Structure 1
């Protein structure tokens, strides 16, 4: 959600598997605030990839911190709970949705177990970033709203839409709670994008696809589009203030 898969152009020198855009919100914020950028966003990352685990040969993302940072931003947690994979599985043709692996992605009990577990993981992320970057302003950025607040969202079933809304609401709550617990700030992208969900007239995110994998030249399904990334960057700059970083 922070990497910007499919938003062209690709960030120069970034790993192909990261699907990292040169127009994701970290790049836009750095440009607006006049900051040098170290961007380690990586598509598919979990809290473990932020804290302890290698991802496709890349070190844990916190290893990029050296204590000189003025601003650190982080969007994480959705992959821990299978948020977008669940919605992508739900958008597949009906016979495929019930294949065992895909049915498991759509299991409410499994998603709720993962949500309970991610609360502590988000706190660990905030605490570790604060420890490694003690002089930085640390900002959690929650997830842009994907689903309409009310009604249906074809081709998703009402059951899957309800589960998706539940996951989104809990991720939003847990992100804010982790930020508060660890002394970090929070950019409330979910709240700002209620009217810009993927099914809206002016979406900041993309609709699901019957082929829920990134297609070259196209923004990834159920991910921010260029307008969404610009909106998140504007929220960040408004929250932080240009003067703070250009003084």
Structure 2
């Protein structure tokens, strides 16, 4: 082994539904044995501690337990050679917004569920969340740098989910697709700023995957739909996407 590698982040790093499941993965984590952290570790010979967890927010990285698992940062002991982190989307409700936008309109009027759907689709709520995320991402970068001063720390941003403006993304309306693009672009920009301001690096996955969105002929992510057993989660990386992200991470390191 060439060094210790800790992988942090949410489902976009964990790889829910991509078979096989990682050995010992906690229930609900959605952690795949062929997610990009596992692929990077295998290719570079690193000793991997993968604590990625579906649904994770920056708070779950820093100070909040998730489904009984400690905050992800507790696995960092200062001996790391490499740390990767893919986070921030759940702070702003990025994929949940797209899920909600893909539901039939009548769902917004269903008791209890309708209120959550309306909140997710509220542009003002998404803007307020986006306003908070720069501080949260910078806090992640500072904390990781403080705990592992000698590590390479890479913010790995999000695969592009949506096609370019003007290209339909059914069942999403053009308005919802435009909002989704704005959320993704803003999150990418805030990730780049947080990395630069905290002495970390960025792997520009979003830019590299523009031609591999979920509606493309060669997708690295999945479209809107219902979660099905044995298949990658909707609006998440597929196996090809994870391999592509691993390639980009390895290229950034070598």
By the TM > 0.5 criterion, same fold? Answer: yes
User: Structure 2: how far apart are the matches of 1:136 and 1:85?
Assistant: 32
State the TM-score, normalizing by the size of structure 1. Answer: 0.95
> Who is 1:120 aligned against?
135
State yes or no: 1:187 paired with 2:203.
Answer: yes
Partners of 1:216 and 1:27 lie apart in 2 by: 21
Q: Find the partner of 1:35 among 38, 46, 52.
A: 46
Q: Residue 93 of structure 1: CA displacement?
A: 1.5
1:232 counterpart residue number: 245
Structure 1 partner of 2:161: 146
Whole-angstrom distance in 1 between the partners of 2:25 and 2:169: 34
Contact 2:91–2:133 at 8 Å: present in 1 too?
A: yes
Correspondence 1:17-166 to 2 at 5 A: 17-98=28-109, 99-151=114-166, 152-166=168-182
Structure 2 CA distance for aligned equivalents of residues 199 and 106 of structure 1: 21
Give 3-state SS (helix, strand or coil) of 1:221's partner. coil
1:244 corresponds to = none
- Describe the superposition over 1:15-46 as per-residue Cα deviations: whole angstroms up to 9, x where unpaired: 12101000000000001111010000000000
Aligned partners of 2:205, 2:108: CA distance in 1, in Å? 30
The equivalent of 2:4 in structure 1 is: none
Q: Identify the structure with the greater strand proportion.
A: 2
Aligned-residue offset at 1:158: 1.2
SS at match of 2:49: coil
Cα distance in structure 1, aligned partners of 2:211 and 2:147: 37
Secondary structure of 2:247's partner?
helix
Q: Which residue of 2 aligns with 1:177?
A: 193
Q: Which runs of 5+ in 1 are unaligned?
A: 242-247
Q: Map Cα deviations across residues 45-98 of structure 1 (whole Å, 9 max, x no partner).
A: 000000000000000000000011000000000000000000001111121145
Distance 2:65 2:106 in 1: 35
Contact 2:162 2:215 in 1 (8 A): yes
SS of 1:80's equivalent in the other structure is helix
Q: Using the alignment, how far apart are the partners of 1:199 and 1:97 within structure 2?
A: 25
Go from structure 1 to structure 2 and tell me whether the alpha carbon gap of 1:220 and 1:185 turns closer, same or farther (over 3 Å shift). same
1:222 aligns with 2:244: no
Q: Which of structure 1's runs of 4+ aligned residues deviate more than 4 A?
A: none
Counterpart contact for 1:90–1:97, Cα < 8 Å: no
**Cα-to-partner distance string for 1:109-164 (whole Å, 9 max, x where unaligned):** 00010001010000000110111111100000000000001222100011111110
The corresponding residue for 1:208 is 224
- Specify every segment of 5 or more residues in structure 2 that has no aligned partner in the other structure, as ranges: 1-11
